[in-house]
Amino acid sequence: MVGLRMDDSPPGRAARVGCALAAVLALGASPAAFAAPTTVGVFVGSNRPGGGQQELQFAIRDAERMRAVLSEIGGLRAENALFLTDPSASDVLDALETQEQRVRTLEAAGEQTVFVFYYSGHARSDALTLGPTELELSQLRPRLESVGSTVTLAVLDACQAGAFSGIKGVAPGGEFSYVSTETLRAEGLVVMASSTATELSQESTELGGSFFTHHLVTGLRGAADRDEDGSVSLDEAYAYAYHRTLVTTAPTRVGEQHVTLETRLRGKGEMVLTRPVAADAWLLLDGAVSGRLLVVHEGSGTVAAEVVKEPDSSFSLALPSGRYRVVLRQAEQITSCRLRLAAGSSSALSKADCEAVAVGGGTVKSTPGYRAETLLVEIGVGALASWRSGPFFERLSSFGFVDGRGPVEGAVSLSLAGRVVGRGSWVVTASTLGGGAAVRRELGPVANGEFVGDDVFRWSTQRITASLRYTAPLRQDRLLLALQAGAGPTTVGTSFVGASGSATERRLGAHAAGSISFQGVFRRDGLDLGPFLSVEAIHARVLENLLGERGNVGGVSLTLGVRISP
């Protein structure tokens, strides 16, 4: 259980700032002196690869997260945001032109504006890669500079995104400073890029997004608020994203990733990006909580935030109201907490009331959409296209028996699955394996003029299969591909009814099976619930007659079912 402290008001420091000041970029240290600017944005997420590239998993999701945080606590209104998924280069240019007209209309009416361009996807050193098309950086930069907004903020999450900067010799650094934080009413261009001009940007399956965007969004939700004034400025957001991205990418195979920043601002004013104080709900992390925390939204299964909490420090995360699971790791100790954030209130996480979680032995990262460590129950129904072979059936045929059933039969199955290591799982399945009947008809009459009844031989098989399964994520972790192979015991019950009498028998045999399945993943109220479609091939050797001749049964099954995980 989780210890929560409920409060009807925002965090204490909220009173020092005021909820009414929410705006994506507040240009001015004296909010009363100037009206908050209007924010206009274009958010682009492109998973599509170009030549020689692989499809990304989380670019679209990253763009949605960026738009969401600016909408929730950055003052971005829905009518001022365009969201593009897997667009072409011309689609992006059209969106820029549309939003430029909106900016110029607002500026003509005397309003200050902030134009935000966010891109997550593939890139080369000189262009953004948008599927088969490319948008050259030499074309994109002048378009952004000519938008006509008071301030333009470009956030690029792509490989070699630092090449967008037109300033040579700008070196990334955790304590990067710039004139804009010392002045009032800044104007100009800001570019924040996920990597330098020579580095590769990386995605994380554990975080369910790119390292850079995830840490930037977490910082904007309050983790970067160093002075605890209820707002996150550009320098705070950059410093947090720089340090966390560098630390979390250092151990990866690709290596360290340095966030870069270019500012061409003039005038005066601190650049405020978000105001967590104006959020719908808050998760309070006080001095008693320390370690690495993953905050997972229960409804969507996405990682809402990942923070490293130092002891004796305290801050809050601005989050949408709803149910969350918080995983806290300290060295080899892991605790899991569930809580509900109510709208308009704050909730404090108490580590003492969280439940301990056993540490698994795997080193492979798992995605939010797939929880291999939990127990899965799978129930399925389907059809089996059966086959029969071997000298057993040849002997039946030589005695005049013919097949008495069709080639397709119904089948039901029940499976339990649990984690082995990484994406590997054990699976135990109990299922019917079908059956059959062989019929021999007597054509000649007996003395009383009646025909002799049919001789019928029937069999019915069941099986228990112990398997190993490997599961790989497909479409944004909401569709899984599972490959499975196993073997186990098979039982067959036989019966003979004819003119000479009747007999029944049960025998034990063995079988082998292999399958491929597609599984959907949906979460609701803490449950994994999703459909699956499986194609399986089974071969069993179970039938044997008095001459020692054996018969093989099996087939190919198509099963549709549902998987449930508490």
The topology (CATH level 3) of 23-274 is Rossmann fold (3.40.50)
Which tokens in the block code for residue 74? 């950055």
Of all helices (H) and strands (E), which one includes residue 395?
helix 391-398
Residue 150 burial (CB count, 10 A):
21
- Do residues 195 and 260 make contact, with C-beta atoms less than 8 angstroms apart? yes
> What 8-state DSSP symbol labels residue 350?
B
The topology (CATH level 3) of 376-565 is Porin (2.40.160)
Which pLDDT belongs to residue 80?
94
Cα 104 to Cα 513: distance, rounded to the nearest angstrom: 66
Q: Where are the beta strands (DSSP E) in 359-401?
A: 376-389
Cα 119 to Cα 242: distance, rounded to the nearest angstrom: 18
3-state secondary structure of 444: coil
- Do residues 194 and 120 make contact, with C-beta atoms less than 8 angstroms apart? no
| Class (C level, CATH) for 281-357 | mainly beta
Give φ, ψ of 207 to 5 degrees.
-85, -15
**How would you write the pLDDT of the chain (566 residues) with one tens digit per residue?**
223 333 444 444 333 333 333 333 343 333 333 457 889 999 999 988 877 677 888 889 899 989 999 998 888 999 999 999 999 999 999 999 999 999 999 999 988 888 999 999 888 777 888 888 989 888 988 899 899 888 899 998 887 554 444 332 233 333 332 322 222 234 678 888 877 666 767 777 777 778 888 889 988 988 888 888 888 888 888 888 888 888 877 777 667 778 888 777 665 556 788 888 888 788 888 777 777 788 888 766 777 777 777 776 777 888 888 888 888 877 667 888 888 888 888 888 766 567 776 554 333 223 333 344 457 888 989 888 878 888 888 888 888 788 766 677 888 889 888 866 657 889 999 998 878 888 876 654 444 444 456 788 888 889 999 999 988 777 545 678 889 999 999 998 888 887 667 888 888 889 999 999 998 876 555 456 788 999 999 998 888 887 788 888 888 989 998 888 75
Residue 558, class by beta-carbon neighbours within 10 Å (0-12 exposed, 13-18 middle, 19+ buried)? middle
Q: Do domains 23-274 and 376-565 have the same CATH topology?
A: no
SS (H, E, C) 248-278: HHCCCCCCCCCCEEEEEEEEECCEEEECHHH
Residue 141 burial (CB count, 10 A):
16
Report if pTM > 0.75.
Answer: no
Mode of pairing for the β-strands spanning 6-7 and 346-348: antiparallel
Q: Which residues contact 448 (CB under 8 A, 6 or more apart)?
A: none
Residue type, 245: T
Task: Provide the residue ranges of all domains of the chain, joining segments of one domain with +.
Answer: 23-274, 281-357, 376-565
Residue 547, class by beta-carbon neighbours within 10 Å (0-12 exposed, 13-18 middle, 19+ buried)? exposed
Cα 181 to Cα 170: distance, rounded to the nearest angstrom: 18
User: What number of CA atoms fall less than 13 Å from residue 174's CA on the CB side?
Assistant: 8
Residue pointed to by tokens 């500012």: 263
3-state secondary structure of 346: strand
Q: Where are the beta strands (DSSP E) in 147-215?
A: 151-157, 184-193, 203-204, 209-210
Angle between helices 211-218 and 59-73 (to 10 degrees): 10
Distances (CA, A) of 362 to 308, 367, 373: 22, 13, 10
Q: Where are the alpha helices (DSSP H) in 39-116?
A: 59-73, 89-108
Which tokens in the block code for residue 22? 């929410």
Cα 156 to Cα 550: distance, rounded to the nearest angstrom: 67
Task: State how far Cα 310 lies from the chain centre.
Answer: 28
Q: Where are the beta strands (DSSP E) in 474-549?
A: 479-498, 501-520, 523-524, 527-544
Which tokens in the block code for residue 381? 């129904």
Q: Which residues contact 126 (CB under 8 A, 6 or more apart)?
A: 136, 137, 138, 163
Cα 44 to Cα 29: distance, rounded to the nearest angstrom: 31
Which tokens in the block code for residue 297? 């939204």
Residue type, 526: G
Cα 83 to Cα 98: distance, rounded to the nearest angstrom: 12
Cα 532 to Cα 543: distance, rounded to the nearest angstrom: 32
Mode of pairing for the β-strands spanning 303-309 and 527-544: unpaired
Give φ, ψ of 263 to 5 degrees.
-125, 130
